Structure 1
Amino acid sequence: MNTQSSLNIVNKHLNYPKVTLVETTTSQYLHIAAEIDKTSFPFFLGKSSCKKSVLKFCKEQAENIEKKAGVINCSIFSAIIIPPGRGKYVQENISKTHLAKFDVVILIEIDSTEHVEELLKSKVYQELISKIKSKSSYLHIVKASNVRQIGPVNHSKQGIFLFNYFYAQNTSQNLLVWEYTAGWFEKETKLNNSTLLLPGDNSKYTIINHCRWDSLWNIIPHLIFKKTFKTYVLDNFYANKVGAQPILYKLV
């Protein structure tokens, strides 16, 4: 792992507290992200009949998946908005990654790699993937582990959930600058949870951040009106060759 000195820090006069981290989980994750309803706007307005049927099927399958050995949680998310924060480093390297516009996400938390492999072979999981694949224009599936954690993400009640799809030249650099900038979110948005996922080798993204706020008002105004979001967060991302692709969701 690179040391702190490998960070390229800009706007050093902005001094946010170091993010508060807790011990990571030993859980394994399956992250399934699909693009079903295409949109040219930052808002995901309404749902097509196709998407509604997919979400209904996913919800039914999630209940069966949660009965499988080792499965801790299976949550379904539907996108509501692409907020400010997409890094220009992504735009400059668009041929090397995939511009994330995932409007349906499934996150499955599992207690061990052995149970992950069992689930992947199960009929209920294969039926789930077959249905989504047949209805989506793009599907991204990865196994992942938890590499940093501010706190566990509560999936038991509704809220505003973030999946932020990072693309970086170097994963270690991505982790370092995420840690450096996460204190901004902790202070400015009162963020008290985040499960940072490290995907496997087949991922288009270096890391995927997942967290939750109670409402849009807890996050959107800060991204729009706080000048330090750009000067402290986004500018440091770019200086370290890291691009973010945030999308906000609600539980299905």
Structure 2
Amino acid sequence: MEFKLINPNPKYSRARLVEPPTRGYLHLAAAVDAPTEGRFPSPSKEKSDLIDRLKDLARQVERLESVAKATVYQAVIVPTPSVYGQQKEFRQPRYDVAVLVETNDVDALEAVGKSEEYQALRDAVTAATSDTHEFKGHCLESLGEVDVTRPGLFLFNYNVSEDPKIALRTWEYCYGWFQAEADLNNATLLEPDSPSDYAYLSYARFDLDLPSFVELISKPSMGEYISTNLLANRVGSMPVLYDLV
């Protein structure tokens, strides 16, 4: 199978990339009060208490010499996956709580993952629910560093595909659309360094509130260009939108 671009448009080129960061990434996600009907996670005291606990533990992880950042996220909406990603064989991400640990370099991943501080963080996540996911990887491509020092709408996209190489090319054109339509200047595409349910994990920060983001992805070109090319290239986009907490 080869990559094919459907409905090419001179307005949408391949994404303009920058040199990817050399950091390592540890991502923990959990479905605590995930939506069962509809797309909005439910609030609960248990989830609020867990988030407070994770924030405290993340600060301890961040104090490690080999860690650059450790951030905690709470989902605001779990959108419907793209058509290819709706197949039953794929694990649907319903993760309404997530943590991202960025190490100074990829070589530090193993040591950080084995540290008491990270293990305490991981144990808190896995104790809260059986529906969890852990991702360890590196940055394959980047539109620019994701600013996690201030609020915004954070898109974590769990990607599945028949062919990861084709998924990579598809990602480049899809994010070229976001650069054109939303002036997006940041995004990181992570490739797993160990077995994962997902071919890639990408994340980006938007200076938009949720209604404005919904308006953005409701543009006709979203379906004509992004959705069509995802399906044609057998790539599943399974997004979750989060607030930084």
Q: TM-score, normalised by structure 2?
A: 0.94
Q: Among 168, 187, 195, which residue is 1:194 paired with?
A: 187
Write the distance in 1 (CA, Å) between the matches of 2:151 and 2:225. Answer: 30
1:222 paired to 2:219: no
User: Does 1:42 pair with 2:39?
Assistant: yes
Quick one: which of 205, 215, 228 aligns to 1:235? 228
Aligned-CA RMSD value: 1.6
Report the counterpart of residue 29 of structure 1 in structure 2. Answer: 25
| Deviation by residue 1:158-177 (Cα, 9 ceiling, x = unmatched) | 11000001110111010011
- Report how far residue 14 of structure 1 moved: 6.4
Judge which range, 103-112 or 14-23, deviates more. 14-23
Amino acid corresponding to residue 147 of structure 2 in structure 1: N
- TM-superposed deviation, 1:183: 1.1
1:124-143 matches, within 5 Å, as 124-143=117-136
SS at match of 2:65: coil
Moved over 4 A (4+): none
Aligned runs of 1:1-252 on 2, under 5 Å?
6-12=2-8, 15-39=11-35, 40-45=37-42, 47-83=43-79, 86-92=81-87, 94-95=88-89, 97-216=90-209, 217-224=211-218, 226-252=219-245
Could you say if the C-alpha distance between residues 201 and 116 of structure 1 is closer, same or farther in structure 2, counting changes exceeding 3 Å? closer
User: Which amino acid is the alignment partner of residue 91 of structure 1?
Assistant: Q
1:217-242 alpha-carbon deviations (Å, 9 max, x no partner): 54220112x11101100110110000
Deviations 1:146-204 (A, max 9, x none): 01110100000011000001110111010011112211111111211101111233211
Identity of aligned residues (%): 31
Question: Are the aligned partners of 2:137 and 2:194 in contact in 1 as well (CA < 8 Å)?
Answer: no
| Native 8 Å contact 1:73 1:109 kept in 2 | yes
Aligned length: 243
The CA deviation string for residues 15-43 of structure 1, in whole angstroms up to 9 with x for no partner, is: 51332110001101001111111212212
Residue ranges of structure 1 left out of the alignment (5+ in a row) = none
Residue 205 of structure 1, CA deviation: 0.5
